Amino acid sequence: MNHLRELKKYFKGILLVKKNKTQELSPLAGIMIREIPQEFRDKAIEHYKASFLTLDGKELNGFKSILKKLRKDIATEYLKDKELEKKVWFLFCDIFINKDKYDCKEVFEKRLKDFLTEICKPLKSYEISFCIIHLQLNSPISIWGTEIKKLLEDDFKNIKINPKDLMGAKVVSEFKGKAVIQIPMSGNNENLAIERARERAELVLKAVQTYLSDHMSIRDENLLFKISEFALIRDIQTQKWSWNWKAKRKPYGLKIGGTDRDFIDKAESHYKIAKQCDKKLLSIYERAVYWTARSIEEEDLDTKIIYLCIALEALLASKDDKRKGEVIAYRMVLINHLIDGNFPDPFKIMWFYEIRSKVVHGATLFGATNSDCLTLQYMVRKTLFNFVALTEKYKVKMYKKFIKAVETPENLNLICNHFKLFKGKWPDSIIEILEEKLKK
């Protein structure tokens, strides 16, 4: 990735900024306020009378863009998100506060090159092997740049695994004589390299399942093989090996009692409210509950996002709504505002809906994170509960009347003005829809 060109373009603009923006700004407008590192604080106080810097507008968007691109680069994966952001922020403060120093082109470019050299570390090459449960082999298989084979005693000798050692014995017992898929992988964070290898292994097995399903005598039940919890990792350069174990999600079980019953009582009261409505509105409520629960059962993160988006669509959109992502976003904000009095972040919903669209339409795999799923689950639950509360508050029994009661001109004006505090394609798109509705 050509980060140097991106950094040059951004920081040349920063060198032109004359002042630190310390004026009062609405946090809804999108700003970032960070403390200046100790190394530059005295000079910052002398020049700007402040120990912090404020970013907004193009400066903030550019900062986030650089951070996002550096995060995607595998050469920086050894850094945690906070660590990477801290290093980029340190660079920003250095260049902004020491403009007189970096007005010299050679010094400026050297600083950026040194920064990239510091954060972009060399990659290691690994061979990562996973056992395949419910699959047996007569001979090795080469498919999609990987090999599926049976590990024999000589294979363990070649990578210097001693079956008499405690760890060696464990590896041999898990892998010997079993079907194994071997994935070549690069990286400088071993745990992330293992996760990428696991994703790749699962994708290759999907290919095996898909093509074998074309065999007339093979049934779906024959193709339920999967990756095991264990991984054998070999560093190609050093020939050192290690093993990794990732526990599959298993039920813990639950004994309901005490304050748990408050949540059951809440479910019962919500159902009684929904049951007083017509069949369509009751069905909408039940479908939203169903898909929310399906997201809890599902382990695959992309599928979780899809199920949660289905739950939101059931609650907040109808077949007549053309731009469902935007409609869901503003209705989610409106419904939660009318009950809680605050404005939840609508652009998270737009972001999740974009992930969902990319997955559903085949544009990406492994697009969602665990954090994405937890955030969206919370937003769906809040919206579901407040949806029921509003049906009771407005005493409506039909979905169309519910939408009409919620989307009064006063309410639409309220959130339209709220969205005008933001800039970008998503708020502009939502504002366009709201203004069209207000004209009708």
Mean pLDDT of 384-395: 93
CA atoms within 13 A on the CB side of 332: 28
Q: Where are the domains of the chain?
A: 3-119, 124-245, 260-439
pLDDT at 320 over 90: no
Which long-range contacts does 424-429 make (Cβ < 8 Å, 24+ apart)? 426/326, 426/329, 426/346, 426/347, 426/350, 427/347, 429/323, 429/326
Q: How far apart are CA 142 and CA 131, in angstroms?
A: 16
Tell me the pLDDT tens digit for each residue of 118-143.
Answer: 999 999 999 999 999 999 888 898 99
pLDDT at 23 over 50: no
In terms of pLDDT, which residue wins out, 50 or 210? 210
Average pLDDT taken over every residue of the chain: 86
Q: Determine the pLDDT at residue 386.
A: 93
Tell me the pLDDT tens digit for each residue of 155-201.
Answer: 777 777 877 777 778 888 888 888 999 999 999 999 999 999 999 99
Q: Is the dihedral of CA 192, 196, 202, 204 positive or negative?
A: negative
* pTM as predicted: 0.69
